[in-house]
Amino acid sequence: MGGFLGAGKTTLIWKVAERLMSQGKGVGLITNDQAPELVDSELLRQQQLAVSEVAGSCFCCNFNGFTDAVKRVGKEADYVLSEPVGSCADLSATIIQPLKKYWSTTLLVAPLTVLADPLRLTAILQGENGGLHEDAAYIYRKQLEEADIIVITKADTLSENNMTQLKAETAKAFPKSRVMSVSAVTGEGLDEWLADVTTRTDAGKRLLDIDYDRYAHGEAVLGWLNGTVMLHAPQPADWDELLHHFMDSLQQAFEQESLAIGHVKVIAESGKDYAVANITGSERTMTLRKGVGSSTDVRLIINARVECTPEHLDQIVKTTLTKAIDGRYTDEVTAWRFLQPGRPNPTHRFNEVIS
């Protein structure tokens, strides 16, 4: 299940895994990122799900690492759900076709699903860039172009009429893809989509004509940061309040400098309690789920993808976190990386569709 940053891939994978397991099916999950310390992986582990993380490169540039992950989580699984890096495209040529050729005795490959956030999708269909650099928006369009199925997420945020219109406009722009809509909040559309991908095997029906120079630049305009910080308080502290304040301040900092946000995700954990906060763009898109409550210790895992240099992103995140802590707690950085993705260099790139 592909789709640009902030499209809702992890949430959908979680809900789908729950549905399959309630039917007695074994499920394995694979997440992917340019660096370790991934919020998505930790969130899925919190649900007691079997997760394998491919970190340090995208699936297409580390196909063997991806298939090793399939082996790990697939031992007891009927289904393996995989979520590539949000800025990754050309999945049909680099992942789907190699799987069909080399793994056909082990796997049935489902149609490639690409998720799209309705707010950004609407802008893209109108010929705009959805708040992204033009080359990042190019990746977004290419992801939709190669999809077997386009799923418009967050259906609960639109009226029925608006969603019907958006689906029609999407189908007109990408006539070779089936267009569906889902809501992970209400469950709307999930069973329909799940029935489709668990019965169809016409995966990767087309190959992209994609400019790899533009693709590489579209990824490189984003700074990436993954960090993990332990916070310690002298007495139980309200970590939900801190998380909300930190994320709200981060969004303000990015908006003040007009920096386009791919996504910012943070999970706060204390024992078995956790809270997850997301920012998926401008216009006050911060959301907070569940609650970590009060305790003396909390772990924050921070993932940020923002259109600026990695060094500047590092400075903004550190400065904002320091201000949010405001000397009330001691902090211990256990992992911290900021980087710019390198040029995609796929392990395989097929020039024909494998039947």
Residue 61 is encoded by which pair of tokens?
């540039």
Rounded Cα gap, residues 341 and 86, in angstroms: 12
Rounded Cα gap, residues 105 and 94, in angstroms: 19
Residue with tokens 């799900």: 49
Is 224-339 a CATH 3.30.70.360 domain? yes
At residue 87, what is the residue type? S
The reply to whether 2-218 and 224-339 are identical in fold is no
pTM exceeds cut of 0.85 = yes
pLDDT tens figures, 165-184: 999 999 999 999 999 999 98
Instruction: Work out whether the CA dihedral 22, 103, 91, 42 comes out positive or negative.
Output: positive
Q: CATH number of the domain at 2-218, out of 3.40.50.300, 3.40.50.10490, 3.40.50.720, 3.90.1640.10?
A: 3.40.50.300
Task: Report the relative pairing of strands 149-152 and 113-116 from DSSP bridges.
Answer: parallel
Rounded Cα gap, residues 162 and 246, in angstroms: 33
pLDDT tens figures, 5-29: 888 888 888 899 999 999 999 999 9
pLDDT of residue 121: 96
Residue with tokens 């693709």: 215
Q: Is the pLDDT of residue 325 over 90?
A: yes
Rounded Cα gap, residues 311 and 323, in angstroms: 18
282, 259 Cβ separation under 8 angstroms: no
Domain limits, the chain: 2-218, 224-339
> Distance between terminal CA atoms of the chain?
20
185, 158 Cβ separation under 8 angstroms: no
